[in-house]
Structure 1
């Protein structure tokens, strides 16, 4: 049995150090020596402090063992930088476990070491690529926004002139011409609405970012919806689940985005709208889900919902979800839409709690 255990110990794909109660290294496998850049005879029998304390830059690595001893914690796990004697920098996953006797005294400390340097390098390259893609996407978006602002400005005056002359002609027109002029006036008003929507969309920007309680943002969004003419007099059943947590955001801008989503849910939920809002903290992100009891998104809606001016409602410019997504993007977040298995639409918003 001892030979089997020894064979397993020597052939483990991760490094193992066993440190005695007096700090001496009782045993080490070959992989630990390869990872830490020290020959086997330089480990076994040596005091771990003499081996590792001489390099101040490896203090994080040393602290993993210290914390396991001082905090009486069964297991400590961290990813730490580690510098080899030749100056090469590695990133290691280090797990230290204290073994204690019945009297509570430490009998041994087992340290497991895995070299994550290559994986860390891949993650860093991926982060740089994502940052570059984000920068390029931001530049493209800014160019498009500037173009949209220019177009909106250029066509606003002609539209206003057409609308004004149409009204003047309508006052003098006979009945035969009235219908045509009315049609021109109606289309002009639609164009005016589109220009306002583009101008409003292109002006969206974070102005006052601060840490704010998420519940406060949700309640402000619900208040905005209650004041909207489209849903006045409508009784909404709210079901809100939100932990006590803060998020770094432009409070009013984020509330505006949520109100667009809530309004959309209510308008598509018929005479008895029920909207559930659920927020949770996941891996440094606020994930906020909005579900309703409406018919859900159609196949076309799932594909085109974020497209500007796409709408299936009889009134409105079709910019609600587009504006909401833009606001979420300004907060370095993301938005997805879908349908619940038991019916109704589901919109999920994810934004970092504290973006870099």
Structure 2
């Protein structure tokens, strides 16, 4: 029966694609499976019984990190840890990436050997590196696009402001010189109104291009959102409207540029009110930590966004309002981007409400990862 059990164990060990190597307390390799031979480029018949040092430590630089892991386990008893290290075989110039996990082989509470598990994670590592490069490049492109838009905005604001001011001023001057009953008064009034629209557009563009870099500080999350709600309602009081916010906050403190981020929340609250027919707008806010991210969801039950419009809502100068400039959500997007965050807007369609999601990197990523295993 014992022989049969050993056959089962031997077959299972040989069938797995994780390399297994056992080193005796004398430093000799006493077990290798086929996967370990393939990963480490060893020959089980040739290398079984070798001292691991004479096999792997051939000079001071070859596979130094790999050798250091084994040395640490032997000399400092650093078993049970997982390491990712490069490993170069003699017949290859390109190093692999190996995952090494170690433990002790014991008998009667005495350490009689060391067990090492090896896994070739080269493809996974390369895929992660490619993804990092793509994300980094996308971030660079986004930054270049925003900087380009800033330059364009400043140029447009500068070139348009002066003639717009002149048009408005001259129109008002002509209007005062003509009798009130003159038929041209109506045409001058239209010109004046359109000049004022241009001035509003220029002001919005200047505000966008002058958004400063945030200086993040740690603030109370609840207080920040309550202050944003208060500021939004001060604006809405002038037209007899109001926002009621239900806040579910699982993040006590948040690190942001306080005034800047607060302005973004105010803009989102006002946007929710603008697209809610009722005088009172209900907005639900959910804030929680998910892994290494602080997620903020703002949900309204207003008019929603139709699918053909959704892809344009964050574009500068896009607006579905007759008197809108279309820079509000663009400002929010830029503020979130300056906080290294992501802004996403979703809606099931007309009449289905809108969900705005902001994802911010947690300033204490290790803490988030340890305490929020979602």
Deviation at 1:215, TM superposition (A): 4.3
- The answer as to whether partners of 2:233 and 2:243 remain within 8 angstroms in 1 is no
Work out whether 1:225 is the aligned partner of 2:232.
yes
1:5 and 2:13 correspond:
no
Match status 1:116 vs 2:137: no
- Which shows bigger deviation, 122-131 or 300-309? 122-131
CA distance in 1, matches of 2:45, 2:327: 70
Q: Are residues 218 and 30 of structure 1, via their aligned partners in 2, closer, same or farther at CA, if it must alter by over 3 Å?
A: farther
SS at match of 1:312: coil
Aligned-residue offset at 1:26: 5.0
Deviation at 1:89, TM superposition (A): 4.1
Match of 1:33 among 23, 32, 37: 37
Q: CA deviation at 1:60?
A: 7.3
1:15 CA displacement: 1.4
1:61 touches 1:82 (CA, 8 Å); kept in 2? no
1:186 deviates by 1.0
Alignment of 1:189-204 (within 5 A): 189-204=196-211
Q: Which residue of 2 aligns with 1:337?
A: 345
Instruction: Name 2:98's counterpart in structure 1.
Output: 92
Q: How far, CA to CA, are the matches of 2:285 and 2:109 in structure 1?
A: 49
> 1:317: Cα distance to partner?
2.1
Count of residue correspondences? 349
Is the Cα–Cα contact under 8 Å of residues 60 and 80 in structure 1 kept in the other structure?
A: no
CA distance in 2, matches of 1:59, 1:268: 64
Q: 1:171 aligns with which of 168, 176, 185?
A: 176
Query: What is the CA-CA distance between 1:61 and the residue it aligns to?
Result: 4.0
Root mean square deviation, CA, Å: 3.8
Distance 1:120 1:70, change over 3 A: closer
Larger Rg belongs to: 2
User: Deviation string for 1:18-71 (max 9, x for gaps)?
Assistant: 5678987553312223323554468755677897899753377459968xx779
What SS class does the counterpart of residue 304 from structure 1 fall into? coil
Give the structure-1-normalised TM-score.
Answer: 0.80
Q: What is the alpha-carbon distance in structure 1 between the residues aligned to residue 328 and residue 72 of structure 2? A: 50
CA contact (8 A) 1:289 1:347 kept: yes
> Which is worse superposed, 327-336 or 312-321?
312-321
Partner of 2:84: 80
Shift in CA distance, 216/110, structure 1 to aligned 2, threshold 3 Å: farther
Distance 1:195 1:337 in 2: 26
Q: Assess if the C-alpha contact under 8 Å between 1:61 and 1:80 holds in 2.
A: no
SS of alignment partner, residue 278 of structure 1: strand
* Shift of residue 256, structure 1, vs aligned partner: 1.7
**Contact 1:14–1:114 under 8 Å retained in 2:** yes
Instruction: Give the structure-2-normalised TM-score.
Output: 0.76
Is residue 310 of structure 2 the alignment partner of residue 278 of structure 1?
A: no
| Mean Cα deviation higher: 230-239 or 304-313 | 230-239
Partner of 2:158: 153
The separation in 2 between residues aligned to 1:177 and 1:113, in whole angstroms, is 87
CA distance in 2, matches of 1:105, 1:227: 74
Please name the residue that 1:350 is paired with.
359
Would the alpha carbon gap of residues 105 and 244 (structure 1) be closer, same or farther in structure 2, given more than 3 Å must change? farther
Partners of 1:94 and 1:188 lie apart in 2 by 70
Tell me, yes or no, if the aligned pair for 2:286 and 2:298 is still in contact at 8 Å.
Answer: yes
Identify which of 294, 297, 302 aligns with 2:302: 294
Q: 1:99 to 1:296 in 2, by over 3 A?
A: farther
- How far residue 326 of structure 1 moved from its aligned partner, in angstroms, is 1.4
Unaligned runs of 5+ in 1: none
How far is 1:338 from its partner? 1.0
Q: Which runs of 5+ in 2 are unaligned?
A: 366-374
More displaced stretch, 5-14 vs 47-56: 47-56
| Residue of structure 1 in register with 2:369 after alignment | none
CA gap 1:207/1:241 in 2 versus in 1, 3 angstroms: closer
